[in-house]
């Protein structure tokens, strides 16, 4: 009874208010798929092991079971995971099954794509580097997936932009150019672009990407949103939502699809697993 009551309270979306903003504790119960949706996309920066010491986070080996649990509870069709170093690949590869890492000629870089291998198969994949150095993280990784039952095809990309605005402006231009190349190569296929853009949705660089590419932002176009005014980053020790900020993690899309919901996940497990919160978008094809 106590367990059910706790779940009910969480699912009832307990609200916190600070400085005029709201936080919805929606994980995991209230993050069930929205009725009518048939595709779920997730973007999640899980914090590279080599940077975890900078904010006092637990070691990747200790956080890995939490990340695995999150993936299994969110049940994405496909997801972009940022900051995967070689240790993370080893920690997750078998544990996340039936989700599978997409492969490409540059494996393994730090912008990983995973997909539900029960429903999809990979047909192709590759990577567009943004910079000549450190391209393993500053890149656009892409994967062509096919739904096993219907034969429908999708392009899924993942990226991690740089920290300084002038460099992010270049990232935006390079990403838009790369997407145009993929659209020419794979005409008529829906695109879903996950990533840590290090840019808020009203920033010059993120706006530039949308303008140049013609893609749409899931949060700005969703019928239902939650935690749209929260930062998508969180301190893994303090574990407190940051109000009156907006996401730097985004999902943008293109094609004959409709985004029904775009929710930033918030809850105890999420706040101790990484310095980012997952962005969860449900689509209708």
Domains of the chain: 34-284 (3.60.10.10)
Phi, psi of 103 (to 5 degrees): -110, 155
Helical (H) or strand (E) element with 78: strand 78-82
Confidence of residue 180 (pLDDT cuts 50, 70, 90): very high
Answer yes or no: is pLDDT of 17 > 80: no
Per-residue pLDDT, 2: 41
Cα–Cα distance for residue pair 88/109, rounded to 1 Å? 11
Q: Give the model's confidence band at 183: pLDDT under 50 very low, under 70 low, under 90 confident, else very high.
A: very high
Res 107: pLDDT: 66
DSSP β-ladder status, 111-116 and 99-101: antiparallel
Of residues 91 and 53, more confidence is placed in 91
- What is the predicted pLDDT for the residue at 222? 98
In this predicted structure, the answer to whether residue 1 has a pLDDT above a threshold of 60 is no
Mean pLDDT estimate for the chain: 90
Does 104 or 32 have the greater pLDDT score? 32
- pLDDT over 60 at 215, yes or no: yes
Residue 172 to residue 135: CA distance in whole angstroms: 15
Looking up tokens 């580097």 gives 129
pLDDT tens-digit profile of 69-102?
999 999 999 999 999 998 999 999 999 999 999 9
What are the percentages of helix, strand and coil residues in the chain, rounded to 5? 30, 30, 40
Cα–Cα dist 242/127, whole Å: 33
Give me the sign of the Cα torsion angle 94, 275, 63, 52.
positive
pLDDT at 134: 78
- What pLDDT digit, counting tens, does each position of 191-208 carry? 999 999 999 999 999 999
Query: Given this model, what pLDDT does residue 141 score?
Result: 96
Query: With 50 as the cut, is the pLDDT of residue 14 above it?
Result: no
Give me the mean pLDDT over the 154-164 stretch.
Answer: 97
Q: What pLDDT does 185 receive?
A: 98
pLDDT the model gives residue 15: 46
The Cα 221–Cα 67 span in angstroms is 28
pLDDT in tens, 32-43: 999 999 999 999
């Amino acid at each position: 009874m106590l367990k059910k009551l706790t779940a009910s309270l969480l699912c009832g979306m307990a609200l916190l208010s600070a400085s005029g903003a709201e936080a919805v504790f929606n994980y995991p119960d209230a993050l069930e798929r929205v009725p009518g949706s048939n595709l779920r996309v997730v973007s999640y920066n899980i914090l590279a092991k080599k940077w975890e010491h900078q904010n006092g986070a637990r070691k990747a080996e200790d956080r890995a079971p939490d990340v695995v649990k999150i993936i299994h509870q969110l049940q994405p069709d496909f997801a972009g995971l940022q900051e995967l170093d070689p240790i993370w690949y080893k920690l997750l590869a078998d544990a996340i099954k039936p989700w599978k890492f997409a492969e490409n000629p540059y494996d393994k870089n730090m912008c990983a794509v995973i997909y539900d291998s029960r429903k999809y198969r990979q047909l192709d994949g590759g990577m567009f580097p943004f910079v000549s150095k450190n391209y393993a993280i500053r890149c656009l990784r892409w994967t062509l997936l096919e739904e096993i039952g219907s034969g429908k095809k999708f392009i899924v990309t993942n990226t991690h932009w740089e920290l300084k605005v002038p460099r992010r402006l270049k990232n935006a231009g390079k990403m838009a150019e790369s997407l145009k190349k993929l659209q020419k190569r794979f005409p008529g296929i829906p695109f879903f672009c996950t990533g840590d853009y290090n840019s808020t949705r009203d920033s010059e660089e993120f706006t530039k990407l949308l303008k140049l590419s013609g893609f749409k932002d899931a949060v700005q176009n969703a019928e239902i949103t939650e935690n749209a005014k929260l930062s998508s980053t969180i301190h893994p020790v303090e574990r407190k939502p940051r109000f009156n900020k907006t996401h730097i993690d985004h999902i943008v899309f293109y094609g004959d699809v409709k985004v029904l919901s775009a929710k930033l996940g918030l809850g105890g497990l999420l706040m101790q697993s990484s310095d980012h919160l997952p962005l969860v978008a449900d689509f209708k094809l």
